[in-house]
Amino acid sequence: MSAGMGETLRTRAITSTLTARLSPTVPSASQTYEPLVRSALRQRLTHNIFVFSVAFTLVVSILLGGEDETSAFARLLSPGTWTIACLKWFVGVLPVIAMRKVYLTSAATPATSPAKMLTNAIAKPSTRRCLAVYMSCTLMLFALYMSSFTSEERETLRLNVFVKSRKHPYYLNGRLLFLVLAQLWLAASFLLRNIMLDRFVFKWTKPLNSSELPYATSNLLKLVLTMALFTSFSLMVYSVAFGLSRMLVLPLLLKLPAVSNIIRPFVAHYAKGTWTLTLPILHWSLLVRSFMMGLVTLMSWEFAESLFDAYVPQPIKVGNLTADPNVTVVSGITTQDTVFAHFAYSELAELASDESSTGNARRIALFGDQKYSPSLWNVVARQSLFRLGQDYQTFLRRGAPITPPVIVAPTIPKPKDPPSTPLIRKAIFRAPRQSPLSTMLDSVSSDSELSKAAEAVAGEMEGRASQMHIPELFRSVAPSSAAAPSANAVVAKPTSSIISSFIAQVESHSRGLVVGYCPVWLKESAMRWNKWFYRERLNKAVEVCLPNRELDALIIEALSHFVCTSLSEDRYGVVQRDIPRIIEAFLSFLSAIEEYQIEVNAKYTPPTPDELSQGDTKILEEKEMMRLEVARAGDVLVVVSDALKTGVANISRTFGDKLVAFKFPPRTARKLQSFVDYT
């Protein structure tokens, strides 16, 4: 036997160079998609909104900016006109555009009446900031306007700050005060108009033609006419409010001791002269100047905000700017911001319906992705169905917020006391015998057993007497344990309740006086306006149920086209697994919308022949108003229902008899069968 036979053979495992690598996830939207969209929006802001708004301000300054006899052509060639126009845009229009950009939101206001919409807006801190921006821009434009005059010109126009008086040198000029307050009133009115239009909410629009943009000739004429009517109506209301405040509010303020000492050196002369509501008509030139200044300001604001409304919601394509467009677009739909989700699903829907060779290749790559975990298609299906599910639940709740579940804290059982030996806390020895004298003294003391027994008997007798029926004659002299309150005692009331009751009495008394002295036509107008302001709109209630209807329509369009193209482009069948879920989600949403559509349509009943023959204008107006609201509510529901019908119809037309291979719930199967039979 050789010497090496006794040695132990040792083996060593070969080290593997293979490592387990996890598949990467789809990047977040904040890393890939949102920076590109922000860059595109920034370019639109600078190249479209800024440029066209500056040009509009320049044109208005050339046409309406002259106080002298200079012609428009001469102002066009004047460098001062260009400088003043740029300053007006910088101090009066640019802050408004920046404010729209900052306070743009995707959450629609859940209000069904103008009163609720105004109440919700006032409760937001952003509304007060917007009012401050509008008024600041107005004051800066007014200061720029006044700086263009010399002191002699201001004196000629009677627009000095103080009146000419040696005795009262600090009396404010009424013409200037009227002009300044008129511009502030117009700024507040413009903000109120934007609130009623819900203009700070992002509204998705389809691509616009050149004739639909704000600088088209027809739209410019419409803008000028609208702002002229709005300015005229606002100034008319302002003149009435200014006159009423001069006749009613100012005399009351001058009678208050603390306030009067502050404002009397400046406005005491206003209380001496007579004032009527027709007095501003006598100062026609001042009204015309206020109207022209307000019209120029409001037109500049309206044109800038119209540009913002037209250019910002336009679709943005950023996928082709990156190395992997599919990853960029799919990561965009994972964003939590609804505005970015609109842009992402718009580009995704265009990819799903693209019939070119490039679109075909991109869809094949999206369906066959194995690089990411979860895959690109899984992210698309999961995010899309999740958003649709959220909006479906919101629709079932009719727009009501989710009520958080009430969490009841579990009761902790009290631990049982451990068994213990009871302690004897009494004396165990016999007490020493007392003398007869001490025993007698203890029996007549205040804390003796005899006194305690007497008090117990007296208390029991008093209790029984209180339960018995005792005549008032005897009850008035009966002793009582509690002292009765004196007749002259004054019960203290809370100060807040006294003030609130006083304010309520003043309001009711004032309302009674106003109603008693107002003419009949004014009462009817006030009642009609009050009904319009507080009445719940049916179409607004439907809009609250579907706050993201445009986004839902884009999601449905994208999913339906992907399902249809997967029949020939999905090589691995990844889309086939999700077809039952997609169709079930579509048909469930469609069934809920159709049921609600029937409920909405039932709210309108056509006028009967008897009502038409009687000619009751009030009933006919109410029914006509309800008919219009039902029609507008139907237009809101159609946005999602038409997209669902078109999507299910395309899927059933594409797959046909192949849908038998899928399993559906009975209700979904019956609904789907109607589409298959129709197609």
Higher pLDDT, 284 or 184: 184
pTM score of the predicted model: 0.79
- Would the pLDDT of 450 be above 90? no
374-386: average pLDDT? 94
144-171: average pLDDT? 70
d(CA 387, CA 374): 18
What's the pLDDT at 307?
94
Instruction: List 201's β-bridge partners, or say none.
Output: 105
Does the CA dihedral 166-172-175-180 come out positive or negative?
positive
Mean model confidence pLDDT for the chain? 82
Q: Which residues of 359-387 are buried (b: 16+ CB within 10 A; e: fewer)?
A: beebbebbbbbeebeebbbbbbbebbbeb
Q: What is the pLDDT of residues 646-657, one digit of tens each?
A: 999 999 999 988
- Would the pLDDT of 470 be above 50? no
What's the pLDDT at 1?
43
Q: How far is CA 297 from CA 96, 227, 294, in A?
A: 11, 10, 5
Q: What is the pLDDT of residues 616-643, one digit of tens each?
A: 788 888 889 999 999 999 999 999 999 9
Tokens read off for 592:
């809920």
Give percent of the chain with pLDDT exceeding 70: 75
- Would the pLDDT of 251 be above 50? yes
d(CA 633, CA 627): 10
Instruction: For residue 2, give the amino acid letter.
Output: S
Which range has the worst mean pLDDT, 36-50, 196-210, 435-449, 596-610?
435-449
Q: At 162, give phi and psi (nearest 5°).
A: -115, 155
d(CA 657, CA 679): 11
Kindly indicate the confidence band of residue 464, based on its pLDDT and cuts at 50, 70 and 90.
low
Q: What is the pLDDT of residues 301-347, one digit of tens each?
A: 999 999 999 999 999 999 888 999 999 999 999 999 999 999 999 99
DSSP 103-136: S-BSS----SSHHHHHHHHHHSHHHHHHHHHHHH
d(CA 652, CA 581): 14
| Spatial contact of 303 and 223, defined as CB atoms under 8 Å apart | yes
Q: Say whether 221 sits in a helix, a strand or coil.
A: helix
| Spatial contact of 124 and 131, defined as CB atoms under 8 Å apart | no
What's the pLDDT at 80?
84
Q: What is the pLDDT of residues 502-555, one digit of tens each?
A: 777 766 766 676 666 677 777 788 888 888 889 999 999 999 999 999 999 999
Kindly indicate the confidence band of residue 2, based on its pLDDT and cuts at 50, 70 and 90.
very low
Cis peptide before 374 (omega within 30 of 0): yes
Contacts of residue 164, defined as CB under 8 A and 6 or more positions apart, other chains included, come to none
What's the pLDDT at 243?
78
Kindly indicate the confidence band of residue 245, based on its pLDDT and cuts at 50, 70 and 90.
confident
Instruction: Extract long-range pairs of 493-498: CB within 8 Å, 24+ residues apart.
Output: none
d(CA 566, CA 619): 55
